[in-house]
Structure 1
Amino acid sequence: MLTPLTILLVTVLSGAMAMAVLGSLWREAIPGVGYWITANAVAIVALLSFALQGHAPRWLSFVAANGLLALALLLVFEGCLRFLGHRARPWPAYAALVLVVLGICYWTFIEPNFNARVTVMSAYHAILYGALAVLMVRGRPAHRPRYNYYFLAAAASLLCAGHGSRGIMYSFGALMQTSLLQVSPSNVAFLAIGILAPPFLAIGVVMLAHDRLAERLERLANVDDLTGALSRRAFLEIGDALLNASLRSGVPVAIAIVDIDSFKAVNDTHGHAAGDQVLAHFATFVARELRVGDVFGRLGGEEFGVLCPTTTAAEAVVLLERLRAQLTASAPGELPRGLRYTFSVGVDQMRRGESLEQLMARADRALYAAKAAGRNRVMVA
């Protein structure tokens, strides 16, 4: 038979399994995971304290149990804040938790009132679950899939509705009860809804953590680790898409193949660490100066590519010439003293019916012509 005590024990086991799954992600240093593991541990202690009602002091089975259960949900919420990059602590929620605990003390020791305790606890949980649902919907990164975030938002919304209706019914005296472990249809029904909270929350946060792992893997595949520019594979994929769009719309697309001049001499004279600094500085400089919509990637070694949508070859020459002159006139302070460098560029524009490889080959020939003409210049094919 399903009783409040068996429901609490099943929920404890669910929390323990959630801790085991989240613990496997601990080493990945995903923001929020530590909060979620702690939340499950606190919830287990709270539920075991609830199970001791009638066999332990009221400060433990009533006050501490309710306070810890509310704290567990607050830790889940704060973990989600950390996961989404929010650094500020939700101090209003912590202040409300203190008020809830004070209310539990009052309605336990001064004016014993079970319905009042249930009402205040349900209200606190409903508000936090509602805030969690809003956080997941509004805080979802635009570049990530919606499903993981909306799953947790939907679970939080259902739990918000459950706690909200429970609080309303007890506050108006629609249900009369004297103990959490009292066997009654309504109590068992509400506790059965409550048993869904830990597994649903655990599944939701684990899905978020795995989405973060997937994002890291995607970044490793699409972004060059040293420079932060797109990898060659990602650059070529975007280039193919831009060329296909250009064929449909007739809008021009220009490409620039960029090569740092005498890079081998930089490595030989200043060392490979200085060479890495030059690559990172160059990538940061170009990415900062390009227009919105331009695509920048590392093709290999000291060679980079720039894709310029809705741009003719002549316009791309003006853009790259400005960057070349700007770098030549500057003295990068983050590089070893006395180390300066230049770059050469080959530019061309897409022709109808050709592939990205053909376009890049012509721009590459223009780059070699710029090198042969003395380097530190921009040439069009």
Structure 2
Amino acid sequence: MKCGIQLRCISNISLRYISFYSRLRKMKFVTLSQTKNLMPTVGLGTWQAPPEVIETVVYKALDLGYRHIDTAFNYNNEEAIGNAIKKWISDGKGTRQDLFITTKLPHVGNRASDVKKFLELQLRRLQLDYVDLYLIHVAFGFHCDPEKLTPLVKPNGEYELDMDTNHVETWRVMEQCKQEGRIRNLGLSNFNEDQISKIVKEATVKPQVLQVELHAYFQQMALRKFCDEHDIIVTAYAPLGSPGAKDHFVSKYNYSPDTFPDLLGLPEIKQIAEKHSKTPAQILLRFLVQQQIVVIPKSTSEHRLKENMGIYDFELLPAEVNVLKKLDKGEKGRIFNFLFWKGVEKHPEYPFKLSGLDATQT
């Protein structure tokens, strides 16, 4: 009789462990539609990270357990990231198959005729045969300086817009690249519902991921519902409110948003963080990941790299989630409207509605 009781106890404990690890695995990965590839829910964002810094940071992040790296042509650091990946693999730390690498088609290449040119250049810089996810970075297109591969700018400071941007034609070439094995999964970034719908209607490979600004002040509930209905995974950039972005806007574009959030300093966030013995950043990230949203916080600090990964050993209570949901400011919470690219709102595919006469307001 005792033996039977012991066996039942062991069986119950085993089931609890299996259930725990099953939940943990589900929390650490999302499954992409169509390919069923696993995408880690925490990745390393690399925007604003200069090449001389990011190479060391990426290597350290991989050592700490990161397997998802997010970059873009516009970040000007793909080469350094490629060096870090190559060294990490050659040092015997892991294999290419362990990693999930995302990059993006730039605004200056946002046309069908330029997709393969930019993708091939990006693969060379990353020293990879394929990327796990390739996104159209923005919905609008700029004319390109063929030598510098940067946007052309008019004497008045406005950007030379390519008014003929055609998402469906561009997408079809990306589908070809996927068939050729150079891309594993396809997605979009900074697109609105109407723009996504047009691609969904015409695509053979439906969009699998949408990367957009998303944080406690700007939760994009309608867009997330739309994505859920179309089996599109949402990736949140600026999940902490992008604390360093304002300085970047001012120094690079001489553009300063009127308001900038301090999510890490909010009393509601601090209170929940103290209750769980976690940091405000961990609460903000957990809030999104717990809703099956992928997050890509950027950091160059080893301490914060560890901190941003330390979100899987606790769970926010429903009441706490509700507190955080009430912080949503809707469109007023948007930081990134891309108006630092002077004149961009005149593009027919500019994705955001601007209220009032002042186009600098978010």
TM-score, scaled to structure 1? 0.20
Give the structure with higher Rg (CA).
1
Structure with more of its chain in helix, by fraction: 1
